[in-house]
Amino acid sequence: MFLSLSLEDIENIIRPLSADHTPHTKLICLENTQLEAGGVSLSAEYIDSVGALAKKHGLKLHIDGARIFHAAIEQKTTVKELVKSADSIAVCLSKGLCAPAGSLLLGSKEFISEARQKRQIVGGELKQAGVLAAAGRIALHKMSQGLKEDHQNATLLAALLKKCTFIDRVTSATNVVSFHLTPEAEPIRDFIESRCSRGGNKTESLRMFTHFSIAEGDIRTIVDTYNKLELKGKRKRQSSIE
Amino acid sequence: MALLFLTEVLHLHFPITSLNLNKQTRGFELKLPGQGVVESLHLIAKIVRNNSITSLQLMGNKIGDEGAAMIAEALRVNSSLTALNLASTGLGDEGAAGIASALYFNSSLSDLALERNNIGDEGAAMFATLLHVNSSLASLSLMNQRTLGDEAAILRNQRPNLAEIPQAKEEGTPTRPRKEAVGKMNFTTDAAIWSTEEMRKSMMTVTSEADVINRLEQEAAEMFGKEASLFVSSSQGNLVALLVHVGEGEGAILGDISRCIRTEARAAAVIGRITPQTVAVQPDGRY
């Protein structure tokens, strides 16, 4: 499952300035945690190695750190450590942190002053955004702590889902649980799908998130409901056969 | 009890510096002959007031709030005691509040153990408040309280460096509150979930818009170890970064299943005329 990192792939795709007919590569983007891969987190070592590669080729490194606090917890490190070789980072204050809106873009002073201009260009200036920033501060300082609880809940959810006969290929990382339905789940497919979001475009997997509004009891309740409905469907089918 | 009786006799003649009455063996009672626990505490309180004792260990003796009040009373005038152990003594909020307020007057106590009691938020909040004015306390243990809530968790997290509690509290102590809104059961996203009560309150009390944004940006930059930061709307973060780093027609290497590609890079391609160069993302999230 865990394949080796292919920095090679990155290196192969970099188009040097000497190539006249191809667009010159300027940037490498990483996503941490990588949602479509099931919420897996990247280690600081890997990011640093990509950072070194970028430097070697004169590229910048940007990290889409929408869920970077989750990554920091799983990697048992700090966000600072995870982004030290990045030139810029985008951090979402909503995802998992409950802020109603807003992200933060971080980088050098020059980068930020340019970013301020570009934000204006894309229509991103907000008047009276202090109300959003106020919630954002709480997200940044308070809600970023204790995400471990969500990870534990995700592990619990994965463990409970694994016991269901109509669900297979359950994986969990950080606050994301991914799984597939077996044909057995057909009668309750709609119900389960309404409780999940769709996985990546490569697979047919379903995804469930744990977050601040999901407590341990909710997880037991939802899996219980899945099981009960499935059992009910089974009985119904049996009685109709009889 | 013989020990305590001996103590009563002795303390009249010799200054007592350390008194260990931890209840380690079954059958040991903190009682003088013919008296209750609380009455026996009068003697201990007296010893504390005498100002020679440096360590008092009463772990496991069910002195309760009433007993704690007597100890607290004596603590106010004491200036010698450095270590006090009241673990498993049946202390509630009231007792804890009493001890906490004694810290207003006491400036010698540095080690206070209150594990395994019934101290709740109220008692813990009292400590948080009093520690604004007390500077001697270096260690406070509130582990394993039956009724412990958020307020105490603040203190618990900060235990190694108690003097900083009040400051941290002012700045919004980094402790996530307990789970709320149980039963909404939205597993489909972790982004469009409801903001917390505290957030909504803080949003209502914003007085200077620019100040709050500046503070958020500064604090974030510090947290991430970068020079500066910019508050943007959610999907603009990546877009703006791409626009700054990559010029028209130039390439950006992105994971084939990254959010940048699936939901955002179209914007970078449309607005920034950036060429996405995709690399396959491995199952472990690496390229």
pLDDT in the model for residue B28: 52
Residue A50 belongs to domain with CATH number: 3.40.640.10
The A residues from 85 to 144 touching B (CB cutoff 8 Å) are: 87-92, 94-96, 98-109, 111-116, 118-119, 121-122, 124, 126-144
Q: Is the same domain home to A122 and A201? A: no
Nearest-neighbour CA in chain A from B96: distance (Å): 27
Q: Is the same domain home to A229 and A128? A: no
A152 touches chain B (CB under 8 A): no
Q: How far is CA A155 from the centre of its chain?
A: 15
Residues of chain A in contact with residue B260, where contact means CB-CB under 8 angstroms, are: 29, 31, 64
pLDDT in the model for residue A156: 93
User: In the block, which residue shows the tokens 């106010």?
Assistant: B76
Exposed, middle or buried by CB within 10 Å (0-12, 13-18, 19+), for B172?
A: middle
Residues of chain A in contact with residue B231, where contact means CB-CB under 8 angstroms, are: 102-104, 129, 132-133, 136
* Among candidate residues B144, B86, B73, B135, the one with its CA nearest the CA of residue B112: B86
A231 touches chain B (CB under 8 A): no
Exposed, middle or buried by CB within 10 Å (0-12, 13-18, 19+), for A51?
A: buried
B237 touches chain A (CB under 8 A): yes
B234 touches chain A (CB under 8 A): yes
Q: Among A104, A152, A208, which would you mutate to test the B interface (most chain B Cβ atoms within 10 Å of its Cβ)?
A: A104
Q: Is the same domain home to A95 and A137? A: yes
**Among B211, B220, B275, beta carbon nearest to A23:** B275
Query: pLDDT tens digit string along B243-271?
Result: 999 999 899 998 887 777 766 657 888 88
Structural domain includes residue A97: yes
Q: Is the same domain home to A114 and A193? A: no
Structural domain includes residue A133: yes
pLDDT 10s per residue in chain B (287 long)? 555 666 666 665 666 777 777 765 554 556 555 566 666 788 888 888 888 888 888 888 888 888 888 899 898 888 888 889 888 888 888 888 888 888 888 888 888 888 788 887 778 778 777 776 777 887 777 776 666 555 555 555 544 444 333 233 333 344 565 554 445 678 888 886 778 888 888 888 888 888 899 999 999 999 999 999 999 987 889 999 999 999 998 999 988 877 777 666 578 888 889 888 888 887 776 76
Structural domain includes residue A37: yes
A143 and B196 within 8 Å at the Cβ level: the answer is: yes
Which of A143, A171, A192 is the C-terminal boundary of a domain?
A143
Nearest-neighbour CA in chain A from B171: distance (Å): 9
**Residue ranges of domains in chain B, CATH in brackets:** 2-170 (3.80.10.10), 210-279 (no CATH)
Q: Is the same domain home to A171 and A235? A: yes
* Among candidate residues A175, A187, A124, A185, the one with its CA nearest the CA of residue A150: A175
Asked whether the beta carbons of A197 and B189 are under 8 A apart, the reply is yes
**Among B188, B225, B251, beta carbon nearest to A80:** B225
Q: Is the same domain home to A136 and A164? A: no
Torsion (CA) B135, B141, B142, B143 in degrees, nearest 10: 160
Structural domain includes residue A229: yes
The A residues from 39 to 78 touching B (CB cutoff 8 Å) are: 40-42, 46, 50, 59-60, 62, 64, 66-67
Q: Is the same domain home to A222 and A107? A: no
pLDDT in the model for residue A154: 94
Which of A143, A159, A193 is the C-terminal boundary of a domain?
A143
Q: Is the same domain home to A18 and A121? A: yes
The B residues from 247 to 266 touching A (CB cutoff 8 Å) are: 247, 249-255, 257-260, 262
A3 and B283 within 8 Å at the Cβ level: the answer is: yes
Residue A162 belongs to domain with CATH number: 3.90.1150.10
Output the six-digit token pair for A199: 């996985």
A105 and B237 within 8 Å at the Cβ level: the answer is: yes
Query: pLDDT tens digit string along B81-99?
Result: 888 988 888 888 888 888 8
How many helices and strands, by DSSP H and E, does chain B display? 12, 8
pLDDT in the model for residue B259: 75
Q: Is the same domain home to A120 and A202? A: no
Q: Is the same domain home to A112 and A18? A: yes
Residues of chain A in contact with residue B263, where contact means CB-CB under 8 angstroms, are: none
Residues of chain B in contact with residue A34, where contact means CB-CB under 8 angstroms, are: 255, 257-258, 281, 285
B257 and A200 within 8 Å at the Cβ level: the answer is: yes
Residue numbers of the domain that contains A196: 148-241
**Among A2, A113, A121, beta carbon nearest to B284:** A2
pLDDT 10s per residue in chain A (242 long)? 233 347 778 888 887 666 666 778 999 999 998 888 888 999 999 999 999 999 999 999 999 999 999 999 999 999 999 999 999 999 999 998 989 999 999 999 999 999 999 999 998 888 889 999 999 999 998 888 878 889 999 999 999 999 999 999 999 999 999 999 988 888 888 888 888 888 755 567 899 999 888 888 888 888 988 898 888 888 888 888 77
Q: Is the same domain home to A38 and A121? A: yes
Q: Is the same domain home to A121 and A209? A: no
Count of residues for chain B?
287
Which of A87, A117, A143 is the C-terminal boundary of a domain?
A143
* Among candidate residues B92, B26, B103, the one with its CA nearest the CA of residue B60: B26
